[in-house]
């Protein structure tokens, strides 16, 4: 049975995340402390005890989720010899997948996603923005709705999460207009998302260049496990190619449905999600109900997943 390891993106954070993994492995605390010293931050404290508002800031959220995801992965690997045939992550989660593939180091990934978060906020330059999840419409219709709504402001379909859940992003006016049209065309729900910018749109194009410049300072090796790119929904093993795709990912849609379907088409029957909450697990079940899906959010989840996958 082929297995994929998958890693969540922004929005799944919570106060207290990764505390149990740190208690089990003091080396993790050292990595977090070194990150805080290098970046003049207090990520360890914010993850452990909040405040939640600080944890929601993109430059904190992104390294926090990556840290939790890789802590869960390492905890599992300490108890299981199961190897992944593919790794994939949702937006930010693609950086976690790179660590799992040994394309970049844990420390370099934390640095890059912290900078990525800063760049994504800074790049918007004061334009009122919004993001919303459209529930109950198929993706092509959502794309058509965005095209129709662009008469009032830029809006794009940016996260293709499930066959009936697509996230839109752009100017506040464009997203509001697209939401109104979506409701008129039969959307079950339009859910505004609490985010720090119009992610995955041309409105933050400068962040793409800034991130590329930052990534040039980091050693990208060729991967040991194929990484499924959000931009192409195809596997990548070459480090330089992946670096270029990560820069493009900032302003490109996240092709999550296609990514999961590609892995299933290649014979993957089992997905294990590593990271806070179980967001991707729910998405994968909504894409294909026949595959096995497991998730490791807490340290106590590990033994059950090890037993079920041995």
Write down the catalytic residue from 90, 111, 114, 200: 200
Kindly report the backbone phi and psi dihedral angles of residue 285, in degrees, each rounded to the nearest multiple of 5, phi listed first. -65, -30
Tokens of 154: 């830029």
Active site residue 200: yes
Maximum pairwise Cα distance, the chain: 55
The number of C-alpha atoms within 13 Å of 128 and in the hemisphere containing its C-beta is: 7
- Cα separation of 82 and 77, whole Å? 8
- Cα separation of 59 and 277, whole Å? 19
Question: What order of strands is seen across the sheet that includes strand 189-192?
Answer: 155-162, 165-171, 129-135, 189-192
> Coil, strand, or helix at residue 11?
coil
Write down the catalytic residue from 12, 69, 91, 295: 91
- Cα separation of 160 and 142, whole Å? 10
Query: CA of 79: how far to CAs of 76, 214, 304, 306, 307, in Å?
Result: 5, 35, 11, 7, 10
Give ∠ CA 267-270-274 in degrees, rounded to 5: 130
Which residues carry out catalysis? 91, 200
């Amino acid at each position: 049975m082929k297995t994929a390891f998958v890693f969540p993106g922004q929005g799944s954070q919570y106060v207290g995340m990764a505390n149990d993994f740190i208690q089990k492995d003091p080396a993790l605390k050292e990595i977090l402390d070194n990150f805080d010293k290098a970046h003049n931050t207090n990520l360890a404290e914010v993850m452990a005890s909040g405040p939640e508002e600080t944890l929601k800031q993109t430059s904190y959220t992104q390294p926090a989720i990556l840290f939790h995801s890789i802590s869960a992965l390492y905890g599992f690997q300490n108890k299981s010899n199961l190897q992944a045939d593919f790794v994939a992550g949702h937006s930010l989660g693609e950086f976690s997948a790179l660590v799992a593939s040994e394309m970049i180091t844990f420390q370099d990934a934390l640095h890059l996603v912290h900078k990525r978060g800063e760049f994504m906020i800074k790049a918007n330059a004061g334009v009122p923005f919004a993001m919303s999840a459209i529930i109950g419409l198929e993706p092509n219709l959502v794309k058509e709705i965005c095209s129709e709504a662009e008469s009032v402001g830029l809006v794009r379909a940016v996260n293709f999460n499930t066959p009936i859940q697509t996230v839109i992003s752009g100017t506040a006016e464009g997203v509001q207009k697209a939401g109104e049209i979506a409701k008129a065309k039969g959307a079950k729900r339009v859910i505004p998302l609490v985010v720090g910018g119009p992610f995955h749109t041309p409105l933050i194009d400068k962040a793409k260049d800034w991130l590329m410049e930052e990534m040039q300072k980091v050693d990208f090796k060729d991967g040991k496990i194929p990484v499924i790119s959000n931009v192409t929904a195809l596997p990548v093993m070459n480090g330089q190619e992946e670096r270029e795709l990560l820069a493009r990912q900032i302003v490109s849609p996240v092709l999550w449905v296609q990514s999961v379907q590609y892995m299933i088409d290649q014979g993957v029957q089992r997905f294990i999600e590593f990271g806070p909450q179980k967001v991707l697990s729910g998405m994968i079940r909504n894409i294909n109900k026949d595959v096995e899906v497991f998730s490791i959010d807490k340290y106590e989840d590990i033994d059950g997943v090890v037993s079920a996958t041995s």
